[in-house]
Amino acid sequence: MMGVETKSFSLVEGSQIGSKFSTCLAENVEGFQQCVKEILKLIEQDGNLSETTSEFCDGKKSKLTTHVAELSRMHAVLVDQHAHLIGEFSKDCESKIEKQYLDSYDSSSPQVTQMFTPDKTSNTRKCRTPIGLDALLSSGGGGSYASRREGSESSFSLSSDSDSESFMSINKLRISPVNDDALKVKETKAPEVQTLVDENTNLKECNRRLQEEVSIYVADISVRNDQITELSRNLDQSMSDIGRLKMEVSEKCRSVNDLNKHLDSLKLKKDEVTAKVDTLRAEKRSQDNLVRELETCLNSIQVEHVGVLSSFDNAQEVIDELKLKVMELEREVVRQREVIFDTAEEKREVISIGSYLSHWNITCPDTNNFAKRSLATKSMLF
Residue 211 vs residue 118, higher pLDDT: 211
Q: CB-based contacts of 76: which residues, under 8 Å, 6+ apart?
A: none
Query: Residue 98's CB: how many other CB atoms inside 10 A?
Result: 16
Report percent pLDDT > 70 for the chain.
Answer: 49
More confident residue, 357 or 285: 285
Q: Give the model's pLDDT for residue 267.
A: 92
d(CA 86, CA 168): 43
pLDDT tops 70 at residue 357: no
- Going by pLDDT thresholds of 50, 70 and 90, the confidence category of residue 317 is confident
pLDDT number for residue 263: 92
Side chain identity, residue 300: S
Q: What does the pLDDT look like over 192-210, one tens digit per residue? A: 767 777 877 887 888 788 8
Average pLDDT (308-323) is 79
What pLDDT score does 142 carry?
Answer: 41
Predicted confidence at residue 247, as pLDDT, reads: 92
Mean pLDDT of the region 271-277: 91
Q: Which amino acid is at 20?
A: K
Helices (H), the chain: 2-48, 54-106, 110-115, 133-139, 143-156, 161-188, 190-363, 365-381
Residue ranges of domains in the chain = 2-258, 331-381
pLDDT at 4: 39
Predicted local distance difference test score (pLDDT) of residue 62: 73
pLDDT at 219 over 80: yes
**380 or 233: which leads in pLDDT:** 233
Of the candidates 212, 231, 238, 208, which has an alpha carbon nearest to the alpha carbon of residue 74? 231
Mean pLDDT is highest, among 87-96, 175-184, 350-359, for: 350-359
Q: Give me the pLDDT at residue 275, please.
A: 92
- Per the model's pLDDT, the better-predicted residue between 381 and 25 turns out to be 25
Q: pLDDT band for position 61 (50/70/90)?
A: low
- pLDDT one-digit tens code per residue, 237-253: 988 999 999 999 999 99
CA distances 16 to 13, 21, 24, 82, Å, are 5, 9, 12, 16
Distances (CA, A) of 130 to 119, 134, 145: 16, 8, 11
User: If you count them, how many residues does the chain have?
Assistant: 382
DSSP letters along 18-65, please? Answer: HHHHHHHHHHHHHHHHHHHHHHHHHHHHHHH-S---HHHHHHHHHHHH
